[in-house]
Chains A and B, each alone.
Chain A
Amino acid sequence: MAGGAPGGASKSEIYKGNGPKLLLPAWLFIGVFLVMPVAIMAIYSFLTKEFRGGVIWEFTLAAYDQFFLDRGLFGDEPPSIEWTYIGIFWRSIWQAGLATVLCLLIGFPTAWFIATRDVKARSVWLFLITVPYWVNLLIRTVSMKFLIRDTGPLNEFLLALGVIDTPLALVNTNFAVQLGLFYSYLPFMVLPIYAAVERYDFSMSEAAADLYASSWATLRLVILPVVKPGIVAGCILVFVPSLGAFLAPDLLGGAKTFMIGSLIEEQFKGAAGNWPFGAAASMILLTIVMGVLLVHARAQTKGER
């Protein structure tokens, strides 16, 4: 049987020939909600901008030119590489990457801890991890700001202890943005890793120990290969939304610098009103994210071989 479904011949016979029909809703959904919007973005990014928002249906590369080439403040200097937008992208990527690493460093031991409790305790811990996420992200981000502001509880506490003489300036710094991203996306790291660790057979660790493996070697050679899919999934789930995040940079970082998300928002909602440029920036972001996912997919298939 071509399908080779584990259920045997009877099952694949039912589905035989109906495959395309059964897939139709999924294809429709993907077509309407994924392919069409992306196609519209792709087309807009090659159109001429209309002043104060909108597009003129004339093909041009102006948006990509603006992204990559610098022609000076008045647009009449010989073109050189434009670092402004690359810089904004790089800052966002770096920040998302750092948030991912932080989430991994804290998330992995957390997931390990939960997965090694007994079954009842596990569900309590998982519940506690998810409870804060019943509250809207905006409210959690604002609360974080209340906690770390100059007159907030954290500074008051440290002042009272005498650890510091003047309040730590935490709000409106990169540190605050990192803290916000880390806090926002930590469960996206913990949950997939937990799912992977839960399936891990702990007798394998014992076997490794019997064979005189150090605990480092056990982690590297036995545990990591097994839980790797969970780690990779967690990293993607943290990295991708961090890349487009604008709540943490705006509220905790003081919106002093553009992130990819706020740069794109400014093109559609701000004074610039440059839709093709916003579309082009989105397409470039999409390309980067697709690149990350492709690398992941390639790694997955290699692992399976």
Chain B
Amino acid sequence: MTFPLSRRTFCTLGVAAFALPAQAFALTDGEARRLVQTLVEEINGVIDSGRPESAMIAAFESIFARYADTAYVAAYALGADGRSATAAQKRAFSDAFNTYVARKYGRRFREFEGGRFEVQGVRAQNNYFEVPTRVYLRGEAPFDVTFLVSDRAGRPLFFNMYVEGVNMLLSERTEIGAMLDRRGGNIDALIADLRRAG
């Protein structure tokens, strides 16, 4: 439902990504945790800002672009259907999908007003880290949002999140699959729909 890094951390990471070949970058639990820490600080800032919906969506889009592994997220969401896509279609899908995600989840930010995310810890998995956070909303029982972080792209980025156990990326793959079915498998039509959806 959400995502974000301070400008300084982001720049540092950017420099690191350029300075080192991707393979040489070994993600540590501390880095994974810091990524999510700065991410949730940015989210908390947006939630607190009380800005209008359109501004929140724009803020979210920027956060998503900087903290999420957008290539992975798009490739996963398109799933097996992506294999037949041309390079231009992949590119266009990726752009449309990431904007769609920002719009869809950015809109929910309104419901989070006055709330905050808190990082709970970090757990190592095979080749990525899970960073559990707890979300406190006014007058609600707190709930769990877990971010999955890897340095697959050469720097720490989150590539999925679970909201109370629900795999959001799998949910989006399901949604994209259904949208594509509705269009008889036509990827260009799907991309056009995506630009209007969310």
Does B associate with A? no
